[in-house]
Structure 1
Amino acid sequence: MTREMFTAQYFARVHEFMETARAEEPVFLTRQVSGVPTWVVTRYDDVRALLTDDRLRKDSVQLGEILRAKLVEAGHKPEIGTLLGPNMLNADPPDHSRLRLLLAKEFTARRIARLRPFTERLTDELLAAYEGQDGPVDLADGFAVALPALVISELLGVPGADRHEFQGWTGALLSGDPRLSMPANAKIEAYFKELIRAKSEQPGEDLLSAMTLASEQEDRLSADELLSAAVLLLVAGHETTANLISAGIRRLLTEPGLAGQLLSDAPAVVEELLRLDSPVMLATFRFTVEDIEIGGVAIPKGELVQLSVGSANRDAARFEHGDRFDLDRGGRGHVAFGHGLHHCLGAPLARLEGEVALTALARQFPDARLAVPVDQLPHRRAAIMNGYSEMPVLLGARAVVTNS
């Protein structure tokens, strides 16, 4: 039996959907927006084990072959986007090790630490723009999305003024609908090819310049690998963190006492947010390299599989009362950033941005409240993501004017 996902009802009640699936059909077959069949795994123990199971692979060449064939069967052109190209997210060892090590060399703790003052200053500027506004403001686009988009732009060396343009492209890329994603893919490819050419001719101190120079000098990244890595970093670098911040705002304005907890221990609060409101609902595609059995369900070789980290993080078998915000659980064990080889390289940056954004909001607008009932907050309709498309808030008076 195929369980239907990606409908308006699914996006409005995604956690209820996953809770039912965990209880009734923890491993099920669904169809993507494109019509491509995919197996979904929902329980914590299965998800965590499969994140490091060699029977599931991510090699971009084989993945591309499987996807193209299934797209044709579903009535689409055999086209896949740059995000599914030869980057570290779509690679197995030894290619994965090579690609990840090259990025890790540049995506250092020192480089990220240098972003904290910039992130704090930018956060204050974004919040200051709301001062004096009496009516509802949308903190999704103007704050939750804007902050990580501008930070990743700074890190990569992408002009921040282009954020509205590339946000439209990345939203389309994540829709799962080839009719939207492929035209957006062509635009973002053209954008980055030109930017990479410019970095090659006149490099700066940014990450994309460093990647471009490393590719030229050490012959460690092909042109396709460089392009795919750049697109991955831009998309992953702001889409997921935007979801974390918007979900954090929702919790901050509806969970009694959370503001005080946030101001006294922001890292612990952000960790529980990552578990409870995982920014990613479904991990990216893997495929079976042999017939396997998961949770009593047989999945043949050559099938697509997605592991629901967002569902796993609420599994009551691992987290007692998993649908509740509870700092006492300590934040350990969640798989919001994955597990094993593909654990998110940008996790420290996402944590930093979440802590800075939410503590600044709590300090500067202590009387803020949602402008609509929580069940009327619209969820994003992005196939793998978990977040809100709008966050209407009545901010009240700004209590703190930060230092310039």
Structure 2
Amino acid sequence: MLTFPFPAGPRGTVPTEFAELRETDPVAEVELPDGTRIRLVTRYADVVAVLTDPRFSRARAAALPGTGFGRCQSTGVLDLDPPEHAHLREPLDRALGEDQVRAWGPRLTRAVDDAISAFAALPRPADFVAGFAAPLAARTTCELAGFDVSAAERLAGWVEDVVGGDADAAHTARQELDAALAELVADRRRSPGDDLASALVAPAEPSRGLPDDEAALVVSGLLVSAHIGNRNALSRHAFALLGTPGSFERMRADPATAVEELLRRYPSGNDGLLRVAAEDVELSGTRLEAGQLVMPLVAAACQDPAVFDAPQHLDLGRRPNPHVSFGAGAHACPGAAFVRALFTTTFGSLVAAFPDLRLAVPVDEVVHTADLLPLGVRSLPVEW
């Protein structure tokens, strides 16, 4: 029996096993490192079904013992099923809606411009991950949440420890982060601003606001997912552009379309979150019994040739592009509009500011992280 997760494919692409299983065993049984057996779902239609069908419970998976893959955790909106999920999700969707994201446009542009200026001043070759992607992700996440920009580096350090530190470091970071969040939420209730925390606790209609503890939980989830996810996706997408001839020209011509293809080719998420079948369900001819653990692999769905022509090819002009990099259904990423705006602004500005940006090492020497979460690039040395 195969052990999951699989190592990344060539140049940080999706594991080669995804394509093999999609053809031969699209609801394959595999074993996690701790011996837990789950089903991997690799076909686009099946992945969408698992993500949208209420018979697959996220809450029951979050309550499972064990570590990793979304087990034994309670991060609020991510780990609830409807209708409880809607209580937290509705104010989050309102706070991160397209109108609000458009209003934040000038702030995103300033953040990107400042990041480009700081990066341009670094000695060359420079590491794109540490010198650009990480500080930009930290600042924009910090501003979005409602923290002062001066706190970005400190908050990013806590998030890194919460996600990847040892037990003691993670515990200390969690305490520090929770204290900062409690202070932020209390402050924004007294003095609302133009940020996520304010939108959650002090909306235009007070009856639609969240209690302080729930608002802090929602903002905490955003800090972790947005900082880690955006840092890694920005790095992976930059690698894709730098390793693909002609990509800068396509990005200049239509940044929004190009970003959608980067999202499809290198999804920023963890390839799906574990679910539990609440009742017997059939997928691609395979019967899943109630209680079965199921992992919908978003990255595999985004490479399904039944939906995407030449899915292994990075086509920055691809249309249509119905990727599911932001998930689907009730748990689709609430920050999708924000990510699209940030990435379109970032890469449009990058190719204009650094028209001769290039890798400082051979493309095959770039080291990609192999873990399911986070997917990233360890370092990306570049010249210009």
Q: Is the structural similarity TM-score above 0.5? A: yes
What runs of 5+ residues in structure 1 fail to find an aligned partner? 397-404
RMSD (CA atoms): 3.2
1:54 equivalenced with 2:20 (yes/no): no
- Report the counterpart of residue 401 of structure 1 in structure 2: none
Structure 1 SS opposite 2:120: coil
Out of 265, 285, 292, the residue aligned to residue 276 of structure 1 is 265
2:331 counterpart (332, 342, 353): 342
Distance 1:247 1:9, change over 3 A: closer
Runs of 5+ unmatched residues, structure 2: none
Distance in 1 between residues matched to 2:37 and 2:174, nearest whole Å: 22
1:80-130 deviations in Å (ceiling 9; x for gaps): 44xx3332x222322233322222232233321122222222212211123
Query: Which of 104, 119, 137 matches 1:130?
Result: 119
Superposition deviation, residue 283 in structure 1: 1.9
Match of residue 28 from structure 2: 28
Q: Which residue of 2 aligns with 1:322?
A: 311
Native 8 Å contact 1:148 1:241 kept in 2: yes
Distance 2:11 2:176 in 1: 27
CA distance in 1 between partners of 2:259 and 2:368 (Å):
20
Aligned to 1:244: 233
* Distance verdict in 2 for CA 1:169–1:22, change over 3 Å: farther
Seen in structure 2, the aligned counterparts of structure 1 residues 64 and 201 have a Cα distance that, compared at 3 Å, is same
User: Percent same amino acid among aligned pairs?
Assistant: 31
Aligned to 2:252, which of 255, 263, 267?
A: 263
Give CA-to-partner distance per residue, 1:165-207, whole Å, 9 cap, x none. Answer: 3334434544598787556444433332233233344443322
Which whole-Å CA distance do the structure 1 matches of 2:373 and 2:37 have between them?
15
What do residues 326-380 of structure 1 show as CA deviations (whole Å, max 9, x unaligned)?
A: 2453042111111222222211111111111111111111111111222222223
Which residue of the partner structure matches residue 300 of structure 1?
289
Q: Does 1:86 pair with 2:76?
A: yes
SS in 2 for 1:338: coil
Give the 3 Å change call, closer, same or farther, for CA 187–302 of structure 1 in structure 2: farther
Equivalent residue letter for 2:26:
P
Q: Is the 8 Å Cα contact of residues 30 and 40 (structure 2) preserved in structure 1?
A: yes
Contact 1:268 1:331 in 2 (8 A): no
Q: Give the match for residue 102 of structure 2.
A: 113
SS of the residue aligned with 1:322? coil
Q: Choose 360-369 or 116-125, whichever is displaced more.
A: 116-125
- Secondary structure at the residue paired with 2:114? helix
> Which residue is equivalent to 1:359?
348
Aligned-partner Cα distance in 2 for 1:256–1:244: 20
Tell me: CA distance 1:10–1:258, structure 2 relative to 1, closer, same or farther (3 Å). Answer: closer
Q: Is the alpha carbon distance of 1:18 and 1:159 closer, same or farther for their aligned partners in structure 2, counting shifts above 3 Å?
A: farther
Match of 2:90 in 1: 101
Opposite residue 85 of structure 1, the aligned amino acid is T
For residues 235 and 331 of structure 1, do their structure 2 counterparts lie closer, same or farther at Cα, with a shift above 3 Å needed?
Answer: farther
Tell me, in whole angstroms, the C-alpha distance in 2 between the residues paired with 1:363 and 1:10.
29
1:156 equivalent in alignment to 2:112: no
Distance 2:226 2:83 in 1: 24
Mapped pair 1:288 → 2:311? no
Q: 2:366–2:380: 8 Å Cα contact kept in structure 1?
A: yes
Most deviating of 182-191 and 246-255 = 182-191
Q: Name the SS for the 1:333 alignment partner.
A: coil
Task: Supply the distance in 1 between the matched residues of 2:242 and 2:146 (Cα, whole angstroms).
Answer: 34
Output the TM-score relative to the length of structure 1: 0.83
- How many Å separate the matches in 1 of 2:162 and 2:271? 15
In the alignment, the residues of structure 1 paired with residue 148 and residue 370 of structure 2 have an alpha-carbon distance, to the nearest angstrom, of 27
Cα distance, 1:391 vs structure 2: 1.6
Contact 1:244 1:354 in 2 (8 A): no
Kept in 2: contact 1:313–1:334 (CA 8 A): yes
